[in-house]
Structure 1
Amino acid sequence: MKKKITKEIITDAAMELLDEKGIEGVTIKNTAIKLAIKPPSLYNHIANLEDLLDMTARKSMKNLYEKLMLASIGLEKKEALWGIAYEYRSFAKNYPGQYQLTQKVKLWKSDETKQIPEQILGIFSKILQKYALSEDETIHFIRTLRSYLHGFILLEMEEAFGLPQELEKSFTLGVNVILTELDSSSNLNNQ
């Protein structure tokens, strides 16, 4: 007896392809092969490749959101931001295709998918409330930290750090510089 195909099963198959082969590997044909069905059968559950990628992006971002939440639970301020920084990098290493898709805004089509980044932003914003930053300063800080993390992750994934110095120390130094600036800005605001 064949297993009943659902959107969830299709998304799970696409997620596997995503981390095995990257975004380019998520196709109707590859997903059907993974599920051992004929490609036209997928159209009973999804509209097209765009729909499949949107569903997969939604699940990828939910995974990232949940991991960042868990990494920051029970922590405040600097410790929470450290937890998030390490988990963000860990997510990219462990789920490279999912991470890649969480950065491809143009592939997010549904309103439901587009709302998840706002939830992720909310994690950062809640932690930063303790720093007494203005709304603009909060956004600038989030952009700075995210840019550093994303840039470091991309260079690391591409094996572009060719020098022998330990990567962990470089990563820690960068996060430390950003968090030290955050402390300085917060102290100035509290005077």
Structure 2
Amino acid sequence: MVRAGLSAAVLLEAASAMADETGIEKVTLSALARRFGVKDASLYSHVRNLRDLRVRVALLASEEMTGRIADAVAGRSGKEALVAFADAYRAYALAHPGRYAATQMRFEPEEVADSAGFRRSVELTYGMLRGYGLREPDLTDAGRLLRSSFHGFVHLELGGGFGHSRAVGESWARALDALHVALENWPSRDGTQDGTQDGTQDGTEDDGENR
């Protein structure tokens, strides 16, 4: 019998909290069932399997994170938008490490096809980059640069990978300064600087990546 009050939304909230407490890899159906004092079988009325549960955590996290980024970059452009975007990204990852880790899983296209969070993340990234005069395929290349830079930094920070005495926040700020310079002076495909393009598109934006 399903415990009264147990629902997909309640399980998702608990799984998301558990992810931040112990890590997304330790979110299991058995652990979640123990938290509610029920048998594992009771959860299958609300989630299909463990993968389904973790994907739901990732989709929720993506919507939360993207919402914060959207609020941060609203009305901003250029370096102000870049810094606001990056700071919101980092702040969410540090506050919700397990949920953030879930967003970095590899997804099947059908799992995120209806995700407003992932789709909006791509739109926000490309919109910010158009402010630097970039167009395809440079939009995608620059988007990958930002994603790898942001994720690499916060992944190391969350894991305690920065042992130098210099404040991590200061290094973060300088990294953003460097990314801004790189975007303003983006090289063209013939080797010259190409930071004054008109921002029109040559093709589709979304190549199926999460960000």
**Is residue 189 of structure 1 aligned with residue 202 of structure 2?**
no
Give the aligned partner of residue 170 of structure 1: 171
Q: Deviations over 1:146-182 (max 9, x none)?
A: 1111111111111111111121111111111111121
What does residue range 24-103 of structure 1 map to in structure 2 within 5 Å? 24-103=25-104
Residue 161 of structure 2 aligns with which residue? 160
- How many residue pairs were aligned? 189
- SS at the partner of 2:185? helix
Conserved? CA contact 1:46–1:52, under 8 Å: yes
Deviates more, 1:145-154 or 1:114-123: 114-123
Contact 2:58 2:100 in 1 (8 A): no
Whole-Å separation in 2 of the counterparts to 1:111 and 1:187: 33
* Structure 2 unaligned blocks of 5 or more: 187-193, 199-211
More helix by share: 1
Aligned-pair CA distance for 1:26: 0.8
2: distance between equivalents of 1:125 and 1:189?
14
Q: CA deviation digits over 1:102-146, x for unaligned, max 9?
A: 111148862446664232011011122222212111111111111
Equivalent AA in structure 2 for residue 93 of structure 1: L
SS at match of 1:105: coil
Q: Distance in 2 between matches of 1:82 and 1:41?
A: 45
User: What's the TM-score once normalised by structure 1's chain length?
Assistant: 0.90
Point out where structure 1 has 5 or more consecutive residues left out of the alignment: none
- Give the corresponding residue for 1:15: 16
**Identity rate of aligned residues, in percent?**
28
- Distance of 1:3 and 1:187 partners within structure 2: 59
Question: CA RMSD of the aligned region, Å?
Answer: 2.0
Shift of 1:77: 2.1
